[in-house]
Structure 1
Amino acid sequence: MVIALGFEGSANKLGVGVIKDGVVLSNPRETFISPPGEGFMPKETAEHHRQKVLQVLKLALEQAKVTHSDIDVICYTKGPGMGAPLATVAIVARTVAQLWNKPLLGVNHCIGHIEMGRLITGAQNPTVLYVSGGNTQIIAYARKRYRIFGEALDIAVGNCLDRFARVLKISNDPSPGYNIEQLAKKGTKFVALPYSVKGMDVSFSGILTYLEERTTSLLKQDYTQEDLCYSLQETVFAMLVETTERALAHCNSSEVLIVGGVGCNLRLQEMMAEMCKERGAKLFATDERFCIDNGVMIAQAGYEMFQSGTRMKWEDAYITQRYRTDEVETTWRND
């Protein structure tokens, strides 16, 4: 029996989670929400995490009904992410690990998403679409690594959606992507937007620029905010489905797993499910508890690492803003 405690704070979500042999014991989360029309800056986000992290840690232990002596390993997000928020949460993880005399493991943020998705959905060896505010990757497992088959060449799909929400000055509560999704449901008129797939890779910055330059004039015409959100979603999701389908065929896979914050978008799940149905594959996805950044996903990935014998020296307990998914050797997988 192993109990792992996980800290996540790579962006505007601060989460602390406890997992015990694959059973989620607690997963509280606090989100830093910036004003409409603005993004979240590293300094303010780090300050939010600094103010909230101890109460979230206390809540995680209370909800899990465990004390610090029950914890076997402490895990934290090593990267990728925003420097100041990552460092703030890593300092807390290092401190409690030393105070409680527990081993410490740095976890790759993306691996956390994948392992949490596999645990919750039961997907065995899926082709993974990882979509969030900071990352867009199409991933498949091969020879002890999660290999990146395709990715965004510029900005992540979540960043594209978030920045368009700023153009429209819609609320960031609970998240700009969620509010775009709700508006898109009411859209009826499709605006043709640039469609940028380059082999297995995708590009979103041109679509965003195209909309930034034309939104005012489109709104003066016969288009609504709802129409623009609908058009943007349909276009970028079609790009993601196309590239995921190509990876699915290449890997001869029968499973697709969507992870990351954008992964709880029901329209993306609907489009992907249709593609999977046509290919005789099965779609796996989670809800906002586990697809949006959270602490228990870091605990789960750290648990897998710890169980497979991975240990970390104190001098390696740093953070890095750039940490590729395929840099991590998946010691816990033998398939």
Structure 2
Amino acid sequence: MVCALGIEGSANKIGVGIIRDGEVLANVRRTYVTPPGEGFLPKETAAHHKDVIHQLIKQALKESKLLPNDLDVICYTKGPGMAPPLLIGAIVARTLSLLWEKPLLGVNHCIGHIEMGRLITGALNPIVLYVSGGNTQVIAYSNKRYRIFGETIDIAVGNCLDRFARIIKLSNDPSPGYNIEQLAKSGQNYIKLPYVVKGMDVSFSGILSHIEDLADPSKRRNKRKKGVITAEESEYTKEDLCYSLQETIFAMLVEITERAMAHCESNEVLIVGGVGCNERLQEMMRIMCEERGGKLFAIDERYCIDNGLMIAHAGAEMFHSGTRMPFEESSVTQRYRTDEVLVTWRDD
């Protein structure tokens, strides 16, 4: 039995979770929310995390009804992510490790999402679609590694949604992607957008540039005069734009996920990452899986959005399998690929 405390702070969310032998004991989180039209900058995000992390640790211990002595290991997000926020989590984790005399483990953020999804859903060996603000990957496990079969070649799908939300001045509370999803439900007219799938990879930057022009009235008028867009394309609502963007980029993700299923002869799909909460993405993926005789596994916002529990669980799995990390290696890295991690805790 392993009891682990995990700290996640790679982006605008800071979370602390505690898990014991697969049992969720605490999962608390705060989000740094900026005004509409603004993104979150590393320095300000780190300052937010610094202000609230100690309170979150106390809250997690209170909810779990544990004392520091009850913990076996302290885990933190090593990467990928934004350096200043990552450092806050690492520094606090190192301090707790020394103060409480507990081992320390750095966890890959992406692996945390995958293992959390497997724990909550019970998926055995699924094709994983990992979609978040900083990552877009189609993943399958093989021979002690999570192999990347396809990914974005420029920006992540979550980043595409977040940036479009800023363009049309949507609120960042509770998240830009969530607010796009709500507007999209009222969309009536589909606007044709670029559809960019290159083999197993996808590209979102061109789609974002195109829809940004459509969303800007002045650019729209100029394009109408030049004949670049039609009269029909010059008349639409924010709801139509959100609907069209979701339908297009989610169709791209479903396509490359289905191709990975066929290649790996898998009948399971697991969606993880913040964008994985989107109900329309889940619906489209579920239809594809059912047509193939497969099954979709998805999780709700408690575990889908960045959280400390996923770091605690992945760290506990690592620790139980014998993984140890020298204290002097307790650094962070902005680039830490999913397939770099040796998966010591799986034998299948």
The within-5 A match list for 1:151-166 is: 151-166=151-166
Identity score, percent? 72
For the residue of structure 2 that corresponds to 1:110, the secondary structure is helix
Residue 184 of structure 1: CA displacement? 0.2
Equivalent residues in 2 for 1:169-180, closer than 5 Å: 169-180=169-180
Q: 2:287 maps to what in 1? A: 274
Query: How many angstroms apart in 1 are the aligned matches of 2:310 and 2:257?
Result: 23
Instruction: Please give the residue correspondences for 1:192-211 in structure 2 after superposition, counting only pairs within 5 Å.
Output: 192-211=192-211
Q: Tell me what 1:250 maps to.
A: 263
Query: 1:313 corresponds to which residue?
Result: 326
| Distance in 2, Cα, partners of 1:221 & 1:317 | 53
Alpha-carbon displacement from aligned partner over 1:22-66 (angstroms, at most 9, x marks no partner): 010000000000110000000000000000000001001101110
Aligned match of 1:46: 46
Counterparts of 1:116-135 in structure 2, within 5 Å, are: 116-135=116-135
Deviation at 1:154, TM superposition (A): 0.3
TM-score (norm 2): 0.95
CA RMSD of aligned residues (A): 1.0
Question: Is this contact kept in 1: 2:214–2:234, CA < 8 A?
Answer: no
> For residues 201-249 of structure 1, what are the alpha-carbon distances to aligned partners after superposition, in whole Å with 9 as ceiling and x for unaligned?
0000000011112212469932000000000000000000000000000
2:89 corresponds to which residue?
89
Provide structure 2 residue ranges, at least 5 long, that are not aligned to the other structure.
222-232
Q: Which amino acid aligns with 1:254?
A: N
Q: Which of 1 and 2 has greater Rg?
A: 2
Any unmatched runs of 5+ in structure 1? none
Give the length in aligned residue pairs: 335
Deviations 1:279-305 (A, max 9, x none): 111100000000000000000000000
Q: Distance in 2 between matches of 1:79 and 1:34?
A: 23
2:235 is matched with 222
Q: Look up the match of 1:261.
A: 274
Q: Distance in 2 between matches of 1:34 and 1:207?
A: 25
* Conservation of the 8 A alpha-carbon contact between 2:128 and 2:269: yes
TM-score by length of 1: 0.99
- Supply the AA of the counterpart residue of 1:248: M
Distance (Å, rounded) in 2 between the aligned partners of 1:78 and 1:2: 20
3-state secondary structure, aligned to 2:216: helix
C-alpha distance in 2 between matches for 1:85 and 1:167: 25
Aligned: 1:241 with 2:254: yes
1:284 to 297, 308, 311: 297
State how far apart, in whole Å, the 1-side matches of 2:216 and 2:87 are: 39
**Which residue in 1 is equivalent to 2:230?**
none
Q: State the match for 2:226 in structure 1.
A: none
Aligned structure 1 segments of 4 or more residues deviating by more than 3 angstroms? 217-221
- Provide the rounded CA distance (Å) in 1 between the counterparts of 2:260 and 2:322: 31
Residue matched to 1:109 = 109
